[in-house]
């Protein structure tokens, strides 16, 4: 305790053999070996706690998924894989799984078809002083909660004139609307970073029409960020619950919506079902990271 | 093909910031000529280039390539070749594919354009780099690829936008000579924009000096240096001392601390003028009876090997004269009347 006290006082009370005041400025700037101070340790501890907080549920899910019985004990007893086989045999889960995959893939296609030209147009508008529109479009997902959108869909599509609530394509459309801004933001960052506009100017002087500039310059240079963005779109779509829960009918419920119901049943089964979703999410994140790092290497 | 600008004026839209427009610019580059457009950054010189290329639109006046008005012709149909300061090579294409890009856009068959690209790369000395990616090349090499790419399409006009500004000094000189050689071999009418006076004076057949969107003077490098139209052109074309002066009688001007003999031309007595003194025309420690001899004391000396540049403060003067010679002046200098130039008075 007293040692720590002395340590804290040390910088303010100069030792007796310290140099004369005339040199004080010089010694103040002299290089000193940086030692991890108290602050660094606090940061490390907070980071470690956060990591545990983040990983513990995942760990418990894994334990739960392979545990035989888990009632009124700290940890489950017995090891089994039968929750997974039960899950694989459950028709409603199999159906939800394939629905999720179909929705995610369709969502990717839609996002790519709409997002690439959209980002490109927004980028050109930003160059001509329409930056506010670009910012509005890219900030939309942060500002508008999915819930709002979901209620909007219910209001519009539940009537007799547009009775499309519960259809697969409406679910795809809703996911596209939600995930599109993330894709356009990724693309816009790359359009700026790679200075595509200058490359296109150059292509234009070499005889490329605007369409050929887009196809031969913008598209090939944006492939990496398009892939990275689409993986993110897929990950978001697969994990999407809020809006899906509101607008999905009984025929086309996606995985997270069905998953919620699993928690009314056996714990092991629910854990196993969640682990499946977790693996998908981790795979998507991994792919996104790989795509992003490859892009860094190439640029 | 010749390139003509007639009374070209241009204003940037107000939202695009404070970039300098152009004010009634007229100039012509003859077939095969290398014309430099020189000016400090923000003088409007790049605007000239972008207007000719068609990357900017909405000007007044007339721009013609080979006698044909290009107003309303989009960039991709103007058949110009352009080299950008930051190379602007396509990162997703190989060096050879970059050079062949313009031919591909023109519908030239794959085998033929590959042969043409390799031929162009050989001319810039980069044949062995054909399969490489641009990012693996040095700055100088990248700019040579850009040059080959622009020349591969046999452009009607070659436009160079500060092509050497991003390069190291040593490579810059070497590439400058290569640009000149390539330009002469291809015979392409060329417009080069630069803020570097060495580049403009050593490369170009003629130089147009632009400042604040206006054309100050267009002439051969030699005449720009020897007979600048104003003090601004004089300072753009080389080191000098500009002294405020007043014509006292024909052939004489008063610079405040001395009366000097000089060809006053059309300037009549009483007029305020500027007197231009180039450093190499300052004669060091001349004989006593020499015309325009000024006593004084030496100032700072900078050694450059073959010569040195020195300051010399004549008695009574407040600002020193800048001289250049083998050895600096010690007691006196003389200003040869044949090389002194009387210019309009400085505006500020």
Verify that B219 and B244 share a domain, yes or no.
no
What pLDDT, on the 0 to 100 scale, is given for residue A71?
76
B88 contact residues in A (CB cutoff 8 A): 198-199, 201-202
Is A131 an interface residue toward B (CB < 8 Å)?
A: no
Of B328 and A138, more confident? B328
- Please, are residues B2 and B29 in contact by the beta-carbon 8 Å criterion? yes
What pLDDT, on the 0 to 100 scale, is given for residue B30?
94
A129 contact residues in B (CB cutoff 8 A): 13, 15-16
8 Å CB contact of A201 and B84: yes
- Please, are residues A255 and A185 in contact by the beta-carbon 8 Å criterion? no
Verify that B140 and B25 share a domain, yes or no.
yes
Verify that B256 and B277 share a domain, yes or no.
yes
The complex's ipTM works out to 0.85
- Please, are residues B171 and B95 in contact by the beta-carbon 8 Å criterion? no
Residue B76 belongs to some domain of the structure = yes
8 Å CB contact of A221 and B75: no
Residue B293 belongs to some domain of the structure = yes
DSSP per residue, B218-266: EE-HHHHHHS-SSHHHHHHHS--EEEEEEEEETTEEE-SS-EEE---TT
Is A207 an interface residue toward B (CB < 8 Å)?
A: yes
A residues 180-199 near B, CB within 8 Å?
194-195, 198-199
Residue B348 belongs to some domain of the structure = no
CA distance B299 to B303: 13
In B106-246, which ranges are continuous DSSP H helix?
110-123, 139-152, 169-186, 197-203, 221-226, 231-237
What pLDDT, on the 0 to 100 scale, is given for residue A130?
67
8 Å CB contact of A217 and B75: no
CA distance B263 to B260: 10
Verify that B112 and B180 share a domain, yes or no.
yes
pLDDT tens digit sequence for B125-180: 999 999 999 999 999 999 999 999 999 999 999 999 999 988 888 888 889 999 99
Task: Say if residue B120's pLDDT is above 70.
Answer: yes
Instruction: Kindly report the CATH number assigned to the domain that includes residue B149.
Output: 3.40.50.300
DSSP per residue, A263-277: TTS-HHHHHHHHHHH
Verify that B196 and B303 share a domain, yes or no.
no
DSSP per residue, A218-235: IHHHHHHHHHHHHHHHHH
pLDDT band at A61 (very low <50, low <70, confident <90, very high): confident
Helix, strand or coil, per DSSP, at residue A38: helix
What's the pTM value of the predicted model, to 2 decimals?
Answer: 0.78
Burial B266-276 (b: 16+ CB within 10 A, else e): ebeeeeebbbb
Is B225 an interface residue toward A (CB < 8 Å)?
A: no
Is A201 an interface residue toward B (CB < 8 Å)?
A: yes
A221 contact residues in B (CB cutoff 8 A): 90-92
Pairing between β-strand B189-194 and β-strand B34-38 as defined by DSSP bridges = parallel
8 Å CB contact of A207 and B79: yes
What pLDDT, on the 0 to 100 scale, is given for residue B240?
92
Helix, strand or coil, per DSSP, at residue B345: coil
Structural domain of B308: 239-343
Is A220 an interface residue toward B (CB < 8 Å)?
A: yes
Strand partners, B297: B313
pLDDT tens digit sequence for B295-328: 999 999 999 999 999 999 999 999 999 999 999 9
Domain-ending residue, one of B209, B231, B253? B231
- Please, are residues A228 and A291 in contact by the beta-carbon 8 Å criterion? yes
CA distance B222 to A153: 76
Length reported for chain A: 299
Domain-ending residue, one of B231, B264, B297? B231
Verify that B181 and B56 share a domain, yes or no.
yes
Which phi-psi region, left, alpha or beta, contains residue B265 (left: φ > 0; alpha: ψ -120 to 50)? left
CB contact set of B110 (below 8 Å; sequence gap of 6+): none
The pLDDT of B215-223, averaged and rounded, is 95
State in Å, rounded, how far the first CA of chain B is from the last one: 41
**Burial of A266: CB neighbours in 10 Å, binned 0-12, 13-18, 19+:** middle
Mutate to test the interface with B, among A205, A222, A224 (most CBs of B within 10 A): A205
**Burial of A73: CB neighbours in 10 Å, binned 0-12, 13-18, 19+:** exposed
CA distance A202 to B83: 8
8 Å CB contact of A198 and B79: no
CA distance B143 to B309: 34
Within 10 angstroms of residue A146's Cβ, the number of other Cβ atoms is 19
Mean pLDDT computed over every residue of chain B: 91
Stretch among A73-82, A244-253, B140-149 having the lowest mean pLDDT: A73-82
State in Å, rounded, how far the first CA of chain A is from the last one: 54
Verify that B166 and B198 share a domain, yes or no.
yes
Q: Which helix (H) or strand (E) holds B68?
A: strand B68-69
Residue B208 belongs to some domain of the structure = yes
Total of domains in chain B? 2
Is A71 an interface residue toward B (CB < 8 Å)?
A: no
HSE, side-chain direction, 13 A CA sphere, residue B49: 30
What pLDDT, on the 0 to 100 scale, is given for residue A10?
38
Of B16, B55, B81, the CB nearest to A201: B55
Of A195, A205, A216, the CB nearest to B82: A205
Of B15, B79, B91, the CB nearest to A299: B91
Verify that B193 and B276 share a domain, yes or no.
no
Strand order in the sheet with B60-65: B22-29, B3-10, B60-65, B68-69
Length reported for chain B: 348
A212 contact residues in B (CB cutoff 8 A): 76, 105
Of A198, A207, A208, the CB nearest to B86: A198
Is B88 an interface residue toward A (CB < 8 Å)?
A: yes
Is B57 an interface residue toward A (CB < 8 Å)?
A: no
Q: Which domains does chain A have, with CATH numbers?
A: 36-80 (no CATH), 84-298 (1.10.3720.10)
Verify that B54 and B161 share a domain, yes or no.
yes
Verify that B194 and B256 share a domain, yes or no.
no
CA distance B167 to B163: 9
pLDDT tens digit sequence for B256-275: 999 999 999 889 999 999 99
Verify that B211 and B302 share a domain, yes or no.
no
Domain-ending residue, one of B231, B256, B285? B231
Verify that B159 and B248 share a domain, yes or no.
no
Is B78 an interface residue toward A (CB < 8 Å)?
A: yes
What pLDDT, on the 0 to 100 scale, is given for residue A248?
86
């Amino acid at each position: 305790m007293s040692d720590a006290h002395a340590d804290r006082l040390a910088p303010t009370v100069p030792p007796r053999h310290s140099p004369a005041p005339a040199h004080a400025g010089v010694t103040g700037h002299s290089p000193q070996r940086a030692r991890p101070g108290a602050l660094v340790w606090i940061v490390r501890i907070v980071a470690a706690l956060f990591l545990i907080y983040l990983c513990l549920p995942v760990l418990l899910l894994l334990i739960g998924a392979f545990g035989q019985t888990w009632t009124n004990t700290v940890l489950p007893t017995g090891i089994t894989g039968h929750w997974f086989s039960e899950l694989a045999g459950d028709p409603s889960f199999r159906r939800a799984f394939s629905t999720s995959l179909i929705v995610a893939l369709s969502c990717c296609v839609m996002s790519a078809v709409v997002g690439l030209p959209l980002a490109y147009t927004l980028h050109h508008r930003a160059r001509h002083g329409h930056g506010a529109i670009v910012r509005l479009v890219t900030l939309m997902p942060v500002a508008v909660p999915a819930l709002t959108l979901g209620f909007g869909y219910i209001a519009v599509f539940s009537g007799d004139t547009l009775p499309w609530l519960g259809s697969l394509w409406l679910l795809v459309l809703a996911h596209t609307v939600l995930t599109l801004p993330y894709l356009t933001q990724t693309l816009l960052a790359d359009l700026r970073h790679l200075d595509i506009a200058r490359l296109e100017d150059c292509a234009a002087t070499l005889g490329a029409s605007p369409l050929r500039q887009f196809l031969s310059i913008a598209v090939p240079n944006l492939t990496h960020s398009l892939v990275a963005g689409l993986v993110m779109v897929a990950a978001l779509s697969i994990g999407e619950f809020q809006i899906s829960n509101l607008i999905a009918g009984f025929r086309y419920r996606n995985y997270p919506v069905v998953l919620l119901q699993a928690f009314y049943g056996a714990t092991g089964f629910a854990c196993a079902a969640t682990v499946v979703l977790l693996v998908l999410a981790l795979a998507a994140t991994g792919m996104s990271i790989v795509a992003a790092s490859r892009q860094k290497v190439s640029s | 093909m010749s390139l003509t600008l007639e009374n070209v004026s241009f204003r940037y839209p107000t939202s695009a910031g404070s970039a300098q427009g152009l004010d009634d610019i007229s100039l012509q580059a003859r077939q095969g000529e290398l014309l430099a457009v020189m000016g400090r950054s923000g003088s409007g010189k790049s605007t000239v280039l972008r207007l000719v290329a068609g990357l900017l639109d909405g000007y007044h006046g007339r721009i013609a390539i080979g006698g044909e008005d290009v107003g309303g012709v989009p960039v991709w149909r103007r058949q110009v070749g352009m080299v950008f300061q930051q190379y602007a090579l396509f990162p997703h294409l190989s060096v050879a594919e970059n050079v062949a890009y313009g031919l591909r856009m023109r519908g030239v068959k794959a085998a033929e354009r590959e042969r043409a690209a390799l031929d162009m790369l050989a001319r810039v000395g980069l044949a062995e780099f054909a399969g490489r990616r641009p990012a693996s090349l040095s700055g100088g090499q990248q700019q040579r690829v850009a040059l080959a790419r622009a020349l591969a399409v046999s452009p009607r006009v070659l436009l160079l936008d500060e092509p050497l500004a991003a390069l190291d000094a040593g490579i810059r000189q070497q590439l400058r000579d290569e640009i000149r050689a390539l330009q002469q071999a291809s015979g392409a009418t060329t417009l080069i924009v630069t803020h570097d006076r060495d580049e403009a004076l050593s490369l170009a057949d003629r130089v147009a000096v632009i400042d604040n969107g206006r054309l100050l003077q267009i002439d051969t490098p030699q005449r720009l240096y020897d007979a600048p139209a104003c003090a601004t052109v004089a300072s753009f074309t080389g080191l000098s001392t500009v002294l405020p002066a007043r014509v006292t009688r024909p052939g004489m001007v008063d610079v405040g601390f001395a009366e000097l003999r000089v060809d006053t031309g059309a300037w009549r007595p009483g007029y305020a003028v500027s007197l231009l003194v180039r450093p190499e025309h300052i004669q060091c420690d001349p004989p006593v009876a020499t015309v325009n001899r000024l006593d004084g004391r030496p100032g700072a000396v900078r050694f450059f090997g073959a010569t040195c540049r020195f300051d010399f403060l004549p008695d009574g003067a407040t600002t020193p004269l800048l001289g250049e010679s083998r050895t600096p002046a010690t007691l006196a200098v003389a200003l040869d009347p044949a090389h002194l130039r009387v210019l309009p008075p400085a505006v500020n």
